[in-house]
Amino acid sequence: MQNPFEIRHLSREDKLRVMEAIWEDLSKEGEKVESPNWHQEALQETEQRLNLGEEKMVDWPTAKKELRERFE
């Protein structure tokens, strides 16, 4: 597949917007997207760390804000 445009020329903010738009589109077809095997393992490991107090929960708006600040 050829890129219709060069993403490397986009700003970081625009790249994040594109990623969010792609994710939103993909999530509309949730039942059609098959999760890879490693994903279940990663979720179980995260849940275990959460139960042990080694991981903290963050709501989605806060997580997005923190990620944007980290990568801007």
Quick one: CA torsion of 59, 66, 7, 2, rounded to 10 degrees?
-30
For 10-65, what is each residue's pLDDT tens digit? Answer: 899 999 999 999 999 888 876 676 789 999 999 999 999 999 999 999 999 999 99
Confidence of residue 6 (pLDDT cuts 50, 70, 90): confident
The three-point CA angle 49-54-60 to 5° equals 80
Here the tokens at position 3 are 């890129």
CA distances for 63 relative to 17, 20, 56, 68, 70, angstroms = 15, 13, 11, 9, 10
Domain residue extents for the chain: 37-72
Give the pLDDT of residue 4. Answer: 63
Give the pLDDT of residue 9. Answer: 87
